[in-house]
Structure 1
Amino acid sequence: MLSDACSQQLEELAELLLQLSPEDYSGISPVFKSSSIGQHVRHILEFFECLISQYDQGEINYDLRRRDLRLEADPYFALEKIRELQTINHIPDKELKILQDHFPNSQPVKTSFYRELLYNLEHCVHHQALIRLACLSIPHVRISENFGVARSTLTFISKKAEN
């Protein structure tokens, strides 16, 4: 089930956060040069949060993220947010509309909760791939070989190994 895949992806992120000191988490990464692991985590979590919090009104606008600086500064607070977000498995699919602020005259786009959940899952994997790169410069951090790798890539590699 898609919600289980999202919950598992967030769990992989939680496991990584447990290894990071607040300084590792919030400090500017030498890999990124202008952002931190925490900023990428905040970005991931706030996309999921937008989807869930705006679900009832039927219109999702990812531009309305809270940009909660505590999420990017405090890995323990981010862990709490992950635990909250892992409850998405009880939310049924329904039609939604996507709105955007950066194109003022744009029309709402039809979508669904499950479609946006899939988008959030892929978005999470993408940012986890970036976070993985930043963690290479932190010697005590151990990352699974699948962290930040898309499920389709893992399937492709697995099938290729079978041949």
Structure 2
Amino acid sequence: MNTILQATLKTLQKTEYLLLNLDDGTLSDVSVSPYYSSIGGHIRHILDFYDCILNMDENNRIDLTARQRNINVETCCNHASDYLKGIIERLKTMETRPDLEVTVTDDLGMGATDMPYTYGALLAQANSHTIHHYAIINYILDRLGLTMKDHSFGYNPTTPQASGLN
């Protein structure tokens, strides 16, 4: 298994830990300003991103705008956990090379556009994207009076941290 895939799986394990320590009410709570988004909404968004990556077509095209947006993942820890486990299993069994050239469709704010990537670069982007959403989830947890026992949750590995945070 390549390093990018190993890092991706390690990062996604944090979602599993998070889901084991939340209830459905906390997962779907949208009371935190200023955006009123839920932890479940962020988890669904993260997993939808990976689902798109794993749904590459026979022409090596990946459409990041083709997201499932299943509301049950946002509101039910069991649904979110099942979705996560499915993504992890698909990642573990994938045989795509990191240097494989792919075409990625995304909407950067001006309509859908196609961009050349490598599969490895897209997985690296997904990993950073996940960590970014973990940081947002950490803000929501803080406002709800909850904390993660994993002090690296939401921190990019290159972010300087105070001593003792790992």
The answer to whether the 8 A contact 1:61-1:100 is kept is yes
What residue number does 1:123 align with?
Answer: 129
How many angstroms apart in 2 are the aligned matches of 1:18 and 1:100?
32
What residue number does 2:42 align with?
Answer: 40
Residue number among 89, 95, 108 corresponding to 1:91 in the alignment: 95
What residue number does 2:8 align with?
Answer: 6
What residue number does 1:113 align with?
Answer: 119
Question: Unpaired runs of 5+ in structure 2?
Answer: none
Q: What secondary structure is seen at the aligned counterpart in 2 of 1:97?
A: strand
User: Is 1:150 paired with 2:166?
Assistant: no
Question: Unpaired runs of 5+ in structure 1?
Answer: none
After alignment, is 109-118 or 132-141 more displaced? 132-141
Question: What percent identity do the matched residue pairs reach?
Answer: 22
How many angstroms apart in 2 are the aligned matches of 1:52 and 1:152?
27
Q: Deviations over 1:9-63 (max 9, x none)?
A: 1111110111111000012142454211110111000000000012544111211
Greater share of strand residues, 1 or 2?
2
Using the TM superposition, give the Cα deviation of residue 143 of structure 1 relative to its aligned residue in structure 2, in angstroms.
3.3
How many angstroms apart in 2 are the aligned matches of 1:22 and 1:32?
21
What residue number does 1:30 align with?
Answer: 32
What residue number does 1:16 align with?
Answer: 18
Greater share of helix residues, 1 or 2?
1
The answer to whether the 8 A contact 1:44-1:127 is kept is yes
Count of residue pairs brought into register by the alignment: 157
After alignment, is 141-150 or 25-34 more displaced? 25-34
After alignment, is 58-67 or 121-130 more displaced? 58-67
Give me the CA root mean square deviation: 2.3
> Structure 2 counterpart of 1:143, which letter?
K
Q: Deviations over 1:114-151 (max 9, x none)?
A: 11000000000000000011111344543311001001
The answer to whether the 8 A contact 2:138-2:147 is kept is no
C-alpha spacing 1:19/1:25, structure 2 compared with 1 (3 Å): same
